[in-house]
């Protein structure tokens, strides 16, 4: 005998269905927005070590970050009640990049920032050094690439057919001896794990000559290594989950402090932001208003800010009523001179 579902049972099923739909809409349904808000202010010293550097540091140098989240409906609603939250269109930040490509780009920027910080600090401390290629890094995999299933943004490219490749010149020279369609064995590192793939070489058009040459069909960057002539001055960075180029200035301050005698921090809690060039030029960054809040929360007394970001930073500092002092800088030497002019905290 067939049993009919009681009305109360139908109501329960409808309630469960509605709850499921609501849960999806509020938590799981993607939106075209990202939410930016204050991240962290983190001590730089645990991230950097100089082989035989001067460890003296009574205060601390801190980098500052912005927290970026892919927004669901719940986060969008909460952000409406958060004066420090900023809602932006994904397209504005990601452009045509996928999430994976954007993350790989941030890793590349961080590596470049670390390299430039070492160069700037070595130059300021009169340390001789040289640049050598470290490894190759998959930045992007075009959607129309024949090898899009074999490569992922963020992969480290280690070798092709057993031949180590650490820069574009070596890779191009090695592949030039082959033909389009040849199958090559590529060894990668993905998420810390070794991966081996076999892929066909695809035609790559040379923008200058309009001719075609064989290639892997991906966009690759060369990561560089900065090597001092004296091994005692070698800088090592700890692995972090921080991306982007804006920690350059604070990395440089910490490296310079360890390379030179004495304590550049003078006992102060010093935060800051700004890109750095190998010549020591400090460049503007995004999200400075969020970094001001992050630094204030961690009790920073001083904040170095790129001059072009100063007005925005000052407006936010005034709004939150912080006692932290903002110091606008154009170059590394500005920050070094300011710290050298301070009386050590007693």
Helix extents (H) in the chain: 7-23, 73-79, 90-94, 99-124, 168-175, 248-259, 288-297, 310-320, 332-340
- On whether the CB atoms of residues 136 and 220 are closer than 8 A, the answer is yes
246 is catalytic: yes
Between the CA atoms of 109, 115, 121 and 125, what dihedral angle is there, to the nearest 10 degrees? -170
Both structure tokens of 31? 């939106």
**In which residue are the tokens 């927290």 written?**
67
Q: What are phi and psi of 240, to 5 degrees?
A: -135, 165
Backbone angles phi, psi at 244, to 5 degrees: 95, 170
Catalytic residue among 145, 150, 246, 265: 246
Look at residue 162 and give its three-state secondary structure: coil
Give long-range contacts, CB 8 A cutoff, 24+ apart: 169-174.
171/136, 171/220, 172/213
Q: In 3-state terms, what secondary structure has residue 238?
A: coil
Q: Is 40 a catalytic residue?
A: no
Catalytic residue of the set 187, 289, 291, 331: 291
Residues annotated as catalytic (active site), given as ranges = 246, 291
């Amino acid at each position: 005998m067939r049993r009919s579902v009681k009305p109360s049972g139908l109501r329960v099923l409808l309630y469960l269905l509605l709850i499921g739909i609501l849960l999806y809409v509020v938590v799981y349904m993607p939106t075209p927005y990202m939410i930016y808000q204050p991240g962290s202010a983190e001590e730089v010293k645990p991230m950097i070590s100089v082989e035989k550097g001067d460890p003296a540091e009574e205060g601390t140098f801190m980098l500052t970050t912005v927290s970026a989240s892919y927004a669901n409906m719940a986060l969008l609603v909460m952000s409406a009640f958060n004066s420090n939250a900023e809602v932006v269109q994904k397209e504005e930040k990601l452009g045509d990049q996928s999430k994976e490509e954007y993350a790989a780009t941030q890793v590349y920027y961080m590596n470049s920032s670390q390299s430039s910080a070492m160069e700037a600090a070595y130059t300021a401390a009169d340390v001789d050094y040289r640049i050598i290629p470290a490894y190759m890094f998959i930045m992007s995999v075009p959607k129309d690439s024949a090898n899009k299933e074999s490569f992922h943004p963020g992969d480290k490219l280690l070798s092709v057919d057993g031949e180590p490749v650490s820069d574009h010149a070596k890779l191009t020279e090695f592949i030039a001896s082959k033909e389009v369609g040849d199958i090559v064995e590529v060894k990668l590192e993905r998420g810390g794990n070794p991966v081996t793939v076999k892929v066909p070489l695809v035609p790559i058009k040379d923008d200058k000559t309009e001719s075609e040459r064989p290639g892997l069909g991906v966009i690759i960057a060369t990561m560089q290594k900065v090597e001092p002539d004296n091994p005692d001055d070698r800088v090592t960075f700890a692995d972090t989950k921080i991306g982007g180029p804006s920690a350059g200035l604070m990395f440089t301050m910490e490296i310079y402090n360890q390379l030179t005698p004495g304590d550049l921090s003078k006992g102060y809690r010093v935060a800051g932001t700004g890109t750095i060039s190998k010549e020591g030029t400090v460049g503007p960054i995004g999200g400075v208003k969020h970094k001001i809040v992050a630094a204030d929360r961690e009790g920073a007394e001083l904040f170095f800010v790129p001059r072009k970001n100063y007005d925005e930073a000052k407006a936010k500092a005034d709004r939150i009523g912080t006692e932290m002092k903002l110091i606008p800088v154009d170059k590394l030497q500005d920050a070094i001179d300011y710290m050298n002019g301070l009386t050590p905290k007693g």
